[in-house]
Amino acid sequence: MTDSGETGRTATDAVHLDGITKRFPGVVANDDVDLQVERGSVHALLGENGAGKTTLMNVLYGLYEPDEGRVVVDGTPRDFDSPRDAIDAGVGMIHQHFMLVDPMTVTENITLGNEPERWLGLSIDRERAREEVVDLSERYGFDVDPDARIEDVGVGVQQRVEILKALYRGADVLILDEPTAVLTPQEVRELFGVFEELTAQGKTIIFITHKLREAMTAADDITVLRAGKTVGTLGAADASRERLAELMVGREILLDVDRPAADPGETVLDVRDLTVEDTRGVRAVDDVSLSVREGEVFGIAGVDGNGQAELVEAIAGLREVDGGAISLGGWDATDASRRDRIDAGMAYVPEDRQESGLVMDFDLVSNGLLGSQHARPFAENGRIDWDAAREHAEEIVAEYDVRPANVDARAASLSGGNQQKFVVGREFARDPRLVVASHPTRGVDVGSTEFIHDRINDLRSDGRAVLLVSSKLDEVQSLSDRLAVIYEGSFVDVVDPDAVTEEQLGLLMAGEQPDADVSVGEVSQ
Amino acid sequence: MTDDADSGEAAADGGETADRERTGDGLGAGLRRLSGRLLVALATAALLALLGVAAVVAPESSVGRLFGIVVSTSTLSATLRLSVPIVFAAIGGIFAEKSGVINIGLEGLLIISAFSAVYGADVTGSMLAGLLIGVLASTVLAAVFAVVCIEYRADQIIAGLAVWLIALGLAPFASQVVYGSPNTDSVGTLGTWTIPVLADIPLLGALFDAAPPVYLMFVTVAGAWYVLNRTAFGRWVRAAGENPRALDTAGVDVSRVRYAAVLISGVLSGIGGAALAFNIGQFTGNGPTMVNGKGFIAIVAYLFGNYNPVGALGSTMLFAGLDAVQLRLQTRQILGVPDSLVQTIPFVAVIVVLALVGRTRIPEAAGEHYESGEE
Ligand SMILES: Nc1ncnc2c1ncn2[C@@H]1O[C@H](COP(=O)(O)OP(=O)(O)O)[C@@H](O)[C@H]1O
Ligand SMILES: [Mg+2]
C-alpha cells in the first residue's frame, strides 16, 4: 500500500484542469473547461445530464485524452494515457456503475490487480490482503465485512468498497460520479459523513451531482457546468438553490409550482383488495385498494422495495395477480393483456427505462412505435407506415426536447435523462385516460424534471387520471392530490399531501402512525 | 455492447431491488445447485451399492456379472485412459470460459493435436517431440481463434465451430496427403509407469499402473485448481469473465488475460489430443475422427463440474466410466440388449445429468467482447 497520507501537502491545488476541450463525433462534450480543486476540500461538480461532467472527470482519470488543455495534479502537469497513470499520480475514480466483481469477496475486489503476493508470486498472500483491508477500513471508520461477497451486500456497502479500492491504490484525490443516485437518504447522509472523515485525513473529493441540495450540503465549493462549459465556481456558503438552478439551466426555474385545485371526475382506475406475490412467492402487495379519478393525481410514496414495483406492474399488466380485481373505467382488466390495457387507454412509464421502456438497439423511430405497432395510424393490415412512425418520433423529440434531436439515433446512444424524456413523451402522447408513472424523473436533471412535472400537471388539468409512484418525497408531495404511503405491501394511510409534513411522511414510510391525524379517511374513495 | 455511461445509470437504478432478491435466494439457490450435483453423486453411489449387494447375494446372476464388470481394475484403468483427453480439454475450456471466451472449438484442438502429435512422432522418431509438436499445433490454432475473437470481435460460438470444422477437414486431409489414407501409420504406444506395491492394491491399483498422461492429468487438475483459486493470475481470469471493466479499471489488461487463458486451453487440449493418439499409436481420421465428440463432452464435463477442475475430473470420470462399461458390455452380451442401445449409455447419461444439474453459474461476461476505454 502506498498511502501518502499527510505528506506532500502544499499550498497548490490538488487538481487544476486548465482549458480542457474534449470532442466526440458531433458533440463538444467539454468546451474550454476550467476546474480548480483545493486540497482537502469537497468539490461538487454540478450540471444537468449531458453537461459534460462525466467526460471531464474521465479526462482527469486518464480514460479520455483531452483534445486541448492541461491536467495539473499537485502542481505537476500530467499526461495520463490510462487510468493506471492517474492511479499512480494519486487520482482514483468511483464510477456511476460500480466496477466490482459480484461473486468475489470484498477483499478480493479491493486488492484486484494489486494482490499482495508471496512465494515469488506463486500465491496470493490472502492473510496480508485481508489485514490490509481491515486496517484501511478501520482507519477511515468504514464498516465493511472483508469476507462478504459483493453480491450479498447492499449498494451502500458496494460503494464503500469502491472507495476503499481507490484508497488501497493510494488515491489522494477521489472522484465520485453521481454517488448518491443509488442510495437511500440514510445512506446519503452516511456517505457525506465518509467525505468528512476522508477530507479530515487530507484527501480531496470531487463528486458529480445534479442535485442542488446535495451540492450545498456536502461540498465546500461548487463548480457548475452547462452544455460543456464552466459557468462558474462558488463557495457552498454563498450558494442558494435558486441561484444554482439558474446557473445550471441558464434560465430561472420555478422550484415550487402552485396549481389549481383538483376537480376530479369519474373513477378511471379502481383496484380492489389486490394481492400480488413476488418471484419468490412472498406477498409483495397485500390487499391493496385504491381508485384514481379523472383529473386527479394519486401518489404512492414509500421506501423502495415495499411493493410499489409489484403493484405498478400488476396494474400495468406485467405481473400476474394473485387476488383481488383491477378495473379500468368499469371494465374488468384483472387478467387483461398488455395490449388490451393499452387499447383501453392506459399509458405506462416504467421504473427502468432501459429494461422495459426502450429497446436500446433500436432507433427512436422504432422505439416511438412501441406499444402502438399494431394500431392506426402506424399500422394497417399488418404493414407499418414508417413515415407516420418517423413523424411521430420527431414530434416527441421536438416537444420533449430530446437531445440529440435525431430520430435515427439508437436509444442506447442517448443519455439517461434524454431516454427518460423520450419514454415519457411516447407514453403521454398516447392520449391516455390513465397514466401509470413509476419514478418518472429518476436520473433526470432539474430542467427536464421540471418539464416532466409540468406535463403531469397538464395531464391532470386535461382530465386524465394519473397514478404516480416515486421515492422522491417532494415530487409526490407537490404533484399528488391524494397520497398513499406504502409499507411492506400495504397502504399505511392515505393523506392530504398539502397538509402532511415531511416528518409525518417519514414515520408513515417506516410503518408507524404519527400522532397528528393526517388521514383523508378511506383508503379508496 | 451498449455499455455507455448511461446504461450504468439505469443498471444502478434497478440495482437495489435486484440485490435484495439475490441475497434473498442466495442460500436457497446454493442448496438447490448443490443438490443437483449431490443427487448425481448419490445416485451413482447408490446404484453401485445396489449392484454390489446383488452381486454378493447372487454372484452368477446377470446383475452380479454386471457388478463384476463395473467394479474392476480393468474398467477403472479404461476409465482413466478414456478420461485423459476429455479432462485436459475440459480444463482448457475452464480457463478460456472463465476468462470470458467460450471455446467451443476444443474438439478441433484435440483433432489437430492428435494428428500433429502422431505425425511429429513419426518424423522425429520421438514421442516427446511428437507431443510437443501436437501441443504446438493446437496452441497455434487456439491463438488464431483468440485473435479472431479478441482482436477482431468475431462471434465466439461461430469462431469455435470454425475451429472444429477446420481441424475436422485439415487433419484427415493432411493424413491423406502424407500417408495416403485418413488413418496414419502406427508410431507405437506409450508404456505404463508402474509404481511398485501401490499398483498391487486391489481395484485402486489401476491408479498406480497407468500411462504417463494419466499421472499428468491428476497433476494438471490439481495445478489448475491452484492457479485459478490461489494465484493473482487466476483471480484475473475470473474477473475477466465476470466483470472485465472492473479488471480493466484495476489496471490489468483484459485482452492479455484472455489471450493467456485461450492459449492455455490450446496447450492443454494439445496434451489431451496427443495422449489420445499415443494411446492407440495412430491417428484415425474417418468420420468424426478418433476424437469423436470428446471435445464436446469436455464442455459438458466442465459445466457439470461448475468450472471447477476437480468437478470436471469427477464428471469426466463418470462419463468415461459409463463409456468403459458400455464397451465391455458390448463384448459380453450380459443383459441381452442390442449393442447399439448399449452404446448410447454415456450420451443418455449426459442428458440426464444436464437435466438434473440444471443451474450452472456461467461467468457473467462469457461470450461478450470487451473493448477497453469504451465508456
Ligand atoms: N463516448 C462518447 N461518445 C460520444 N459522445 C459522448 C460520449 N460520452 C459522452 N458523450 C456526449 O458528451 C456529452 C456529455 O456527456 P457526459 O459527460 O456523460 O455528461 P454528464 O455526465 O454531465 O451527464 C453528451 O452529449 C454525451 O452524449
Ligand atoms: Mg454523467
Q: Is the residue at A259 inside a domain? A: no
Closest Cα to atom 26, ligand 1: which residue? A50
**CB-CB contact of A225 with A62 (8 Å):** no
Residue A523 has pLDDT above 90, yes or no: no
User: Which atom number of ligand 1 is nearest to the Cα of residue A30?
Assistant: 14
* Candidate from A127-136, A407-416, A509-518, B70-79 with smallest mean pLDDT: A509-518
pLDDT digits (tens, 9 = 90+) for B124-160: 999 999 999 999 999 999 999 999 999 999 999 999 9
Q: Looking at the structure, tell me whether residues A242 and A339 fall in a common domain.
A: no
Q: Is the residue at A258 inside a domain? A: no
Chain A positions touching B239 (Cβ under 8 A) are 101, 104, 112
Q: Name the DSSP letter for residue A170.
A: T
d(CA A128, CA A134): 10
Q: Is the residue at A181 inside a domain? A: yes
Residue A145 has pLDDT above 70, yes or no: yes
Say how many C-beta atoms besides its own lie within 10 A of residue A258's C-beta: 6
A383 CB contacts (<8 Å, ≥6 apart)? none
Cβ contact A104–B2 (<8 Å): no
Beta-sheet strands, E only, within A229-369 = 229-235, 267-277, 283-293, 296-301, 323-328, 331-332, 346-349
Q: What's the confidence (pLDDT) of residue B171?
A: 96
Q: What's the confidence (pLDDT) of residue A299?
A: 95
Q: Is the residue at A260 inside a domain? A: no
Q: Is the residue at A257 inside a domain? A: no
d(CA B352, CA B40): 9
pLDDT digits (tens, 9 = 90+) for A409-434: 999 888 888 899 999 999 999 889 99
Q: Is B20 helix (H, G, I), strand (E, B) or coil?
A: helix
A204 CB contacts (<8 Å, ≥6 apart)? A14, A15, A37, A38, A39, A40, A41, A43, A172, A173, A174
A450 to chain B, closest Cα gap in Å: 20
Distance A391 CA to ligand 2 centre (A): 30
d(CA A359, CA A370): 9
Chain B positions touching A153 (Cβ under 8 A) are 19, 23
Q: What's the confidence (pLDDT) of residue B362?
A: 87
Q: What's the confidence (pLDDT) of residue B277?
A: 95
The answer to whether the Cα torsion of A201, A205, A211, A216 is positive or negative is positive
Q: Is A23 helix (H, G, I), strand (E, B) or coil?
A: strand
Q: Looking at the structure, tell me whether residues A296 and A317 fall in a common domain.
A: yes
DSSP secondary structure, B232-265, as one string: HHHHHHHHHHH-HHHHHHTT--HHHHHHHHHHHH
Q: What's the confidence (pLDDT) of residue B20?
A: 35
d(CA B128, CA B111): 18
Residue A297 has pLDDT above 50, yes or no: yes
Q: Looking at the structure, tell me whether residues A386 and A336 fall in a common domain.
A: no
A168 CB contacts (<8 Å, ≥6 apart)? A1, A110, A111, A114, A132, A133, A136
Average pLDDT of chain A is: 87
Q: Looking at the structure, tell me whether residues A183 and A228 fall in a common domain.
A: yes
Place of cell 470531487: A206
User: Is the CB of residue A415 below 6 angstroms from any atom belonging to ligand 1?
Assistant: yes
Distance A165 CA to ligand 1 centre (A): 25
Q: Looking at the structure, tell me whether residues A524 and A437 fall in a common domain.
A: yes
User: Is the CB of residue A49 below 6 angstroms from any atom belonging to ligand 1?
Assistant: yes
Cell reading at A204: 480531496
d(CA A79, CA A268): 61
pLDDT digits (tens, 9 = 90+) for A56-82: 999 999 989 999 999 999 999 999 988
Q: What's the confidence (pLDDT) of residue A515?
A: 66
Q: What's the confidence (pLDDT) of residue B240?
A: 96
Q: What's the confidence (pLDDT) of residue B66?
A: 73
Kindly report the CATH number assigned to the domain that includes residue A62. 3.40.50.300
| B38-to-A76, B31, B333, B348, B351 alpha-carbon distances in Å | 60, 10, 32, 19, 17
Domain boundary among A430, A451, A476: A430
ipTM rounded to 2 decimals: 0.79
d(CA B275, CA B127): 10
The two beta strands, A76-78 and A68-73, are antiparallel
Helix (H) or strand (E) holding A117: strand A117-118
**Per-residue pLDDT band at B358 (split at 50, 70, 90):** low
pLDDT digits (tens, 9 = 90+) for A165-211: 999 999 999 999 988 877 777 788 889 999 999 999 999 999 999 88
Helix (H) or strand (E) holding B14: helix B5-57
d(CA A388, CA A400): 18
Distance A43 CA to ligand 2 centre (A): 16
Q: Is the residue at A182 inside a domain? A: yes
pLDDT digits (tens, 9 = 90+) for B230-280: 999 999 999 999 999 999 888 889 999 999 999 999 999 999 999 999 999
Q: What's the confidence (pLDDT) of residue A497?
A: 87
Chain A positions touching B240 (Cβ under 8 A) are none
**Per-residue pLDDT band at A7 (split at 50, 70, 90):** very low
Structural domain boundaries enclosing A415: 355-430
**CB-CB contact of B4 with B375 (8 Å):** yes
Q: What's the confidence (pLDDT) of residue B19?
A: 36
Cβ contact B243–A419 (<8 Å): no
Q: What's the confidence (pLDDT) of residue B348?
A: 80
Q: What's the confidence (pLDDT) of residue B230?
A: 94
Q: Looking at the structure, tell me whether residues A335 and A408 fall in a common domain.
A: no
Q: What's the confidence (pLDDT) of residue A251?
A: 67
Q: Is the residue at A152 inside a domain? A: yes
| CA-derived radius of gyration, chain B | 22
Output the CA torsion A483→A488→A492→A498 (10° steps). -30
Which residue would you say has higher pLDDT here, A273 or A10? A273
**CB-CB contact of A90 with A170 (8 Å):** yes
SS (H, E, C) B87-124: HHHHHHHHHHHHCCCCCCCHHHHHHHHHHHHHHHHHHH
d(CA A162, CA A158): 6
Q: Looking at the structure, tell me whether residues A31 and A73 fall in a common domain.
A: yes
Q: Looking at the structure, tell me whether residues A1 and A131 fall in a common domain.
A: no
Chain B positions touching A150 (Cβ under 8 A) are none
Q: What's the confidence (pLDDT) of residue A524?
A: 42
Cell reading at A429: 402522447
Burial annotation B206-230 (CB, 10 A radius, 16+ → b, else e): bbbbbbbbbbbbeebbeebbebbee
Q: Where are the alpha helices (DSSP H) in A472-522?
A: 473-479, 502-509
Helix (H) or strand (E) holding A43: strand A42-47
| CA-derived radius of gyration, chain A | 25
Question: Is B11 in CB contact (< 8 Å) with chain A?
Answer: yes
**CB-CB contact of A228 with A31 (8 Å):** yes
d(CA B146, CA B261): 9
Cis status of the peptide bond prior to A404, with omega within 30 of 0? yes
Q: Looking at the structure, tell me whether residues A75 and A165 fall in a common domain.
A: no
Q: What's the confidence (pLDDT) of residue A142?
A: 86
Chain B positions touching A305 (Cβ under 8 A) are 16-17, 20
Domain boundary among A379, A397, A430: A430
Residue A114 has pLDDT above 60, yes or no: yes
Window 18-57 of B: residues touching A by CB (8 A cutoff) are 19-26
**Per-residue pLDDT band at B347 (split at 50, 70, 90):** confident
Q: Looking at the structure, tell me whether residues A385 and A514 fall in a common domain.
A: no
Q: Looking at the structure, tell me whether residues A312 and A461 fall in a common domain.
A: yes
pLDDT digits (tens, 9 = 90+) for A34-57: 999 999 999 999 988 778 999 999
Q: Name the DSSP letter for residue A384.
A: E
Question: Is B374 in CB contact (< 8 Å) with chain A?
Answer: no
**Per-residue pLDDT band at B23 (split at 50, 70, 90):** very low
Residue in A415, A419, A421 to alter for ligand 1 test, most ligand atoms within 8 A of Cβ: A415
Q: What's the confidence (pLDDT) of residue A234?
A: 92
Cβ contact A124–B243 (<8 Å): no
Cis status of the peptide bond prior to A514, with omega within 30 of 0? no
Nearest to B251 among A83, A155, A352 (CB): A83
Distance B4 CA to ligand 1 centre (A): 9
pLDDT digits (tens, 9 = 90+) for B174-228: 999 999 999 999 888 888 888 888 888 877 777 888 889 999 999 999 999 999 9
Based on the structure, what is the number of domains in chain A?
4
Q: Is the residue at A261 inside a domain? A: no
Place of cell 454386471: B66
Q: What's the confidence (pLDDT) of residue A253?
A: 58
Q: What's the confidence (pLDDT) of residue A11?
A: 54
Burial annotation A444-474 (CB, 10 A radius, 16+ → b, else e): bbbbbbbbbbebbbebbeebbbbbbbbbbbe
* Closest ligand to Cα B2: 1
Which residue would you say has higher pLDDT here, B49 or B269? B269
pLDDT digits (tens, 9 = 90+) for A345-382: 999 999 888 888 899 889 999 999 998 888 878 888 88
pLDDT digits (tens, 9 = 90+) for A303-325: 777 888 899 999 999 999 999 99
Percent of chain A whose pLDDT exceeds 90: 53
The two beta strands, A27-37 and A15-24, are antiparallel
Cell reading at A176: 465520485
Q: Name the DSSP letter for residue B307.
A: T
Q: Looking at the structure, tell me whether residues A364 and A456 fall in a common domain.
A: no
Domain boundary among A136, A170, A204: A170
**CB-CB contact of B116 with B136 (8 Å):** yes
Residue B75 has pLDDT above 90, yes or no: no
Q: Where are the alpha helices (DSSP H) in A345-490?
A: 364-369, 386-399, 416-428, 446-461, 473-479
Q: What's the confidence (pLDDT) of residue A90?
A: 94
Distance B180 CA to ligand 2 centre (A): 66
**CB-CB contact of A197 with A142 (8 Å):** no
Percent of chain A whose pLDDT exceeds 70: 93
The two beta strands, A173-176 and A91-94, are parallel
